[in-house]
Structure 1
Amino acid sequence: MSGHHGPLVVTVPTEELRAALAPIAGTEVTVWDLSGPPPRADLDLVVVPYMAAPTVLTALRGLRPLVVQSQSIGYEGVSTVLPDGHVFCNAAGVHEASTAELAVGLMIASQRRLPTLLRAQAEHRWAHAESPALADSKVIVVGQGGVGRAVVGRLKPFEVDVLRVATHGRVDADGVVRAVGELPALLPDADIVVLAVPLNPSTAALVDREFLAAMKPAALLVNVARGGVVVTADLVDAVRAGRVRAALDVVDPEPLPPEHALWGLEGVILTPHVGGHSAAMHPRVVALLRRQLDALAGGAPPHNIVIPARP
């Protein structure tokens, strides 16, 4: 491919990103959050607002083919609204470390009863008691994409028995990866089950009543994937019955309505979809955008293409 002729025309959703990219030679950077009409017609790269609904992409209709850059890893629902001709790239490499960090934090917080201890602190009570541990537990990590691999890597120093599960079973440099179809036989022995899969037709409602019934009594379900991977009503029933505990960064529906039962259930920790939203995000997004601009300027294919251009 030949190099790009003339300056690259880029839109970003925030002034912070504009300031980070504006000094790059050969680029013209404008702030546009995809609300309202585009600032100009000759765009080369459009950066989507973080956590925006896919429907914002309808603002790209009528524009010449361009590269659309997400700030998220997941891209469910995008293909149905992305106008033809545009290439869609996700933010693989940006959020995996922070999301895995939160997953481990949720495991520790739930196993070591931190919510209970913090409530006792607020009441000035010395609530000494034994708790479950992360050490010596058996942890199933479902999903071996970037986030799942990052979770496994961070669990290694914690002296746990990690079992990796993916769509298809295989053997790699780190050992055996079990197939998702084997989960019914694996769940009864696991102390913790971590969900780190994309949301797609094969994973939607993966964790249902039968899945939860197969889990070890009082086991912990950690979801840093997508809320739709879990049937929420079934999870509520299982937690109420004392069958399982849960630590959730994502839920369905999202955001969770104030009156929803999950808020008040004993044994549930909720965080508001902040897995990737740490101080590490901005510099990693900027680094990804710089790589994209280098590729476009040199006539190379964009990085992280997850939806190629449709004619």
Structure 2
Amino acid sequence: MSEHVVWTQWDDLNVPSKFKRLSPATTPTEAGDFSEVTFYVPTYLGGRPALELTKKMPNLKVLQVPNAGYDDALEFLRPGIALCNGRGIHDDSTAELAVGLTIASLRGFATFVRDQDKGEWVNKNYESINDRKIGIVGFGSIGSTIARMLSGFSVEIVAFTQSGRDNTNAITDLDKHLPTLDVVILILPLTKESKHLFDARRLALMKDGALLVNVARGPIVDTQALIKELNSGRITAGLDVTDPEPLPKDHPLWKAKGVLISPHVGGNSSAFEKRARKLIESQLNLLVQGKPLNNVIVAGN
């Protein structure tokens, strides 16, 4: 058996000569033999079925997910399996969507599209992103990229991290800042602590007329509480993630007032493949050199 057997979605991934490369062309997900696989990269957007394949990999040593979020992968870990995430792959794509949702929501793009469908020319004054105070909750690689992209506008950035590191504000201090923020962008991991971080009480603390943008994970926001606030007309929202997901056709969030919804496409852009390949090939080169991997979330035994 090779030193490592690598399965990814790419048939032409550059793999060190000591390693064996598998892909859907040689080892299809439906009927392939995964017993040799030691380094596995689930197909991007493969969801739970892609993670379930780890149960067919008795020799798995590294589970390298292609997403920054890894909460859904934790249940598939076994002793001896290291989990690495895709930190860095989606920074630019997710950040640009966060900025895009912010501008589109503030400037009424959804209304423009609806008016265009009806052939109606309706001129109305909307909010500018400029002169806004914007909170970024979660200031890792994507959060800091959002801040960099926003630096070209006349905005004030207020950053929040769990610990309040590097001159950011601690998330525990959110409550005193929320009434002052015009826009709140969520880009933090889903954990037991962050689930329903924005519940009815915290949503009520948001400034009248404020915009909530969620490009993190749906359950960070209490959906029913959000719907109630939206339908009151007090706040608006731009959501790339929802709870549940995918959002059922008849879910009341679709028809809530003042909400713009995209179907969890933060990282799913033309920028994904080049960055994903580069990270995975770098990880494999670290393995062949006997060096520690990057982006380790859980260390294997």
The TM-score normalised by the length of structure 2 is 0.92
**Counterpart residue identity of residue 30, structure 1:** L
Alignment counterpart, residue 198 of structure 1, candidates 189, 202, 206: 189
Quick one: percent identity of the two aligned structures? 35
The answer as to whether partners of 2:136 and 2:160 remain within 8 angstroms in 1 is: yes
Instruction: Give SS of 1:257's match.
Output: coil
SS of equivalent residue, structure 1 residue 78: helix
Q: Per the alignment, in what secondary structure is the counterpart of residue 283 of structure 2?
A: helix
Question: What SS is found at the alignment partner of 1:302?
Answer: coil
Unaligned runs of 5+ in 2: none
Q: What is aligned with 1:11?
A: 7
Over the residues paired in the alignment, what is the CA RMSD in angstroms?
2.0
1:119 equivalent in structure 2: 114
Q: 1:65 deviation in Å?
A: 4.3
Moved more, 232-241 or 119-128: 119-128
What is the number of equivalent residue pairs in this alignment? 298
Shift of 1:58: 4.5
- What is the deviation of 1:123? 1.9
In the TM superposition, residue 35 of structure 1 has moved relative to its aligned partner by 4.2
User: Could you say which residue in structure 1 is the equivalent of 2:58?
Assistant: 63
Residues 34 and 48, structure 1, Cα contact 8 Å, conserved in 2: no
- 1:250, 1:81 → 2: CA distance? 23
Q: Which residue of 2 aligns with 1:287?
A: 278
The whole-number CA distance in structure 2 between the counterparts of 1:101 and 1:25 is 37
Q: Distance between the aligned counterparts of 1:303 and 1:9, measured in 2? A: 19
Q: 1:28 aligns with which of 6, 9, 20?
A: 20
Match of 1:218 among 206, 209, 216: 209
Map residues 128-147 of structure 1 onto 2, 5 A cutoff: 128-147=123-142
* Contact preservation (8 Å) 1:60, 1:83: no
- Cα 1:243–1:141 change in 2 (3 A) is same
| Equivalent residue number for residue 48 of structure 1 | 42
In 1, Cα distance between equivalents of 2:242 and 2:34: 37
The Cα shift of 1:36 comes to 5.0
Counterpart of 1:85 (choices 71, 80, 102) is 80
User: How far apart are 1:31 and its partner, in Å?
Assistant: 1.8
Q: Alpha-carbon deviations, 1:274-311, whole Å to 9, x = none?
A: 0011101001111011101111111112221111114x
For the residue of structure 1 that corresponds to 2:139, the secondary structure is coil
Q: Distance in 2 between matches of 1:222 and 1:58?
A: 31
Q: How far did residue 21 of structure 1 move?
A: 3.2
